[in-house]
Amino acid sequence: MKLVMVVPTYWARASSVGWQEGDLIFDHPTPLDGPDTLCRFLRSLAVLGETDFSLALVVVPTSPEIEDEAVSRVGEIIRADLPAGSPSPRILAPSTLHKIGLRLASEADRYSAFLNLSGYAHVRNGCLLAARLMGADAAVLIDDDEMFEDPAFLEKVREGLGREHEGRKVTALAGYYLNPDGDYLLKKPLPDWGSRWPKYSVMDSAFMEFIGRPPRYKRTPFAFGGNLTLHSDLYSELPFDTRVTRGEDLDYLMMAKKSGVETILDNELSIKHLAPPKGHPQWQQMRQDVIRFSYQRSKIRAEGVGGLRKLHPEDLDPYPGFFLRDDLDERISDTCELLAEHYRVRGDEAGAVEALRNIEIAREADDPQALGFFLELAENWRALMGVVEESDFADLLENP
């Protein structure tokens, strides 16, 4: 089984320049002149007990203006920090996707949703495309703010994908994150405005149930995008939904489930997650949550579309199912009002206004056409995967 490990790495303008209007927004891109996480990840490859895998890096610049510098910086890090004996990475960048579009010629418009790296779901699709170009039987999705500690990590991936679960071949294998303290629980306190939005406690309940208890392999309602392995039987059929701006991993699992494919969690498959802190205000983090849960719920509610399986929130309990129920609108409204009051008490009227705006934004995200959009997206994805398989596009991936 050919494994291709695919790792996105995010880059921003130099810290002396900072974010500019029109730049893409990601959680913590590395400034071109700042300390990076990629070097730490690459060094950790030495921990792995095998080198029988291929490696691809997806370079994601926040602006086209810095792409060349970002690719150059990544090349420097590879030459300095890639352990001896590790596979030499191939690089996919926005310019790679542009070249693919040129080669697709008149068909490029059909595949335009997959030929940019403008959001997290687009980046994940870029990872799958890189894996396909490299002939991967399975794409091992990892992030560059992680590091390996388990020498048997890839052995466990092969073991998990090589088995059957409940009579069906495993094509989606989920691992989990270990925090800097070595625990898999978030253990984040409930904010004073969050009584109706107990996200972290619900997540911890899910983690304790599925990660902390036997059996080792089990169907899971959640997955971590930075520790997820997808067999080509699945990833060549199912893309990440490009309308999902956050939680693209949970949405992928949900759409696989609607397609009849269960994601199996291995509670021995862990990776250390060392994410830099997020600098987004609370109203913005809440906004990302209300958008994704409202959008996902609209896809759950759609019935009789494309022959997909009908799901209920309970099928995704405890997380994210807790946030996909009929009371979601009321929870959002109550929480945003409490958050607005939290801002007002502190004299931040602008923050209060943004918090209340989330209520209307959530209504707009509840899209009755969401499932139809995804089905068309998936049809185009399957066609692109066929074109990539029939033609040789691998030469467009760069060498560092």
Number of Cβ within a 10 Å radius of residue 334: 16
* Residue-wise burial string across 341-377, b where 16 or more C-beta atoms lie within 10 A, e elsewhere: ebbeeeebeebbebbbebbebbeebbeeebbeebeeb
What are the sequence ranges of the domains in the chain? 3-277+371-391
Domain 3-277+371-391 fold is: Spore Coat Polysaccharide Biosynthesis Protein SpsA; Chain A (3.90.550)
Supply 107's token pair. 């068909």
CA angle 226, 230, 231 (to 5 degrees): 155
Q: Which residues contact 270 (CB under 8 A, 6 or more apart)?
A: 149, 150, 175, 176, 177, 178, 184, 227
User: Is the overall model pTM greater than 0.85, yes or no?
Assistant: yes
Write the CB contacts of 220 (distance below 8 Å, at least 6 apart in sequence).
Answer: 174, 210, 253, 263, 264, 265
* Contact present, 191 and 200 (Cβ < 8 Å): no
pLDDT tens-digit profile, the chain (400 residues): 999 999 999 999 999 898 888 999 999 899 999 999 999 999 999 999 889 999 999 999 999 999 999 999 999 999 999 999 999 999 999 999 999 999 999 899 999 999 999 999 999 999 999 999 999 999 999 999 999 999 999 999 999 998 999 999 999 999 999 999 999 999 999 999 999 999 999 999 999 999 999 999 999 999 999 999 999 999 999 999 999 989 999 999 999 999 999 999 999 999 999 988 777 899 999 999 999 999 999 999 887 677 888 999 999 999 999 999 999 999 999 999 999 999 999 999 999 999 999 999 999 999 999 999 999 999 999 999 999 988 889 999 999 8
Nearest in space to 115 (alpha carbons), one of 137, 142, 96, 88? 96
